[in-house]
Amino acid sequence: SKVVGFIKIELLNAVVDGDILEVEVDFTTDQITALYDSEDRIIQGHPTEVVRFQDDWVFVRRIGDESPNWYVKETS
């Protein structure tokens, strides 16, 4: 898979539960996806066709944590 471009990134929800911050983000992207078998034959997708995808991701992190990293809790 290769992301060709981000079309839309939208914050859908943000919740604070104690010292945990959880945000839900909607990503709309254009991607090229192709799956190959062990003999390099395409078994799914296309190596040059751009397809639009929409995914919701939920990220979490501890408020006040010194690390800037967010963790993926869920995707759909």
Q: What is the pTM of this model?
A: 0.82
Separation CA 73–CA 24 (nearest Å): 10
Q: What is the pLDDT of residue 55?
A: 97
Task: Tell me whether strands 2-17 and 71-75 are parallel, antiparallel or unpaired.
Answer: unpaired
pLDDT in the model for residue 18 = 97
Cα 33 to chain centroid distance, Å, stands at 14
What does the pLDDT profile of the chain (76 residues) look like in tens digits?
999 999 999 999 999 999 999 999 999 999 999 999 999 999 999 999 999 999 999 999 999 999 999 999 999 9
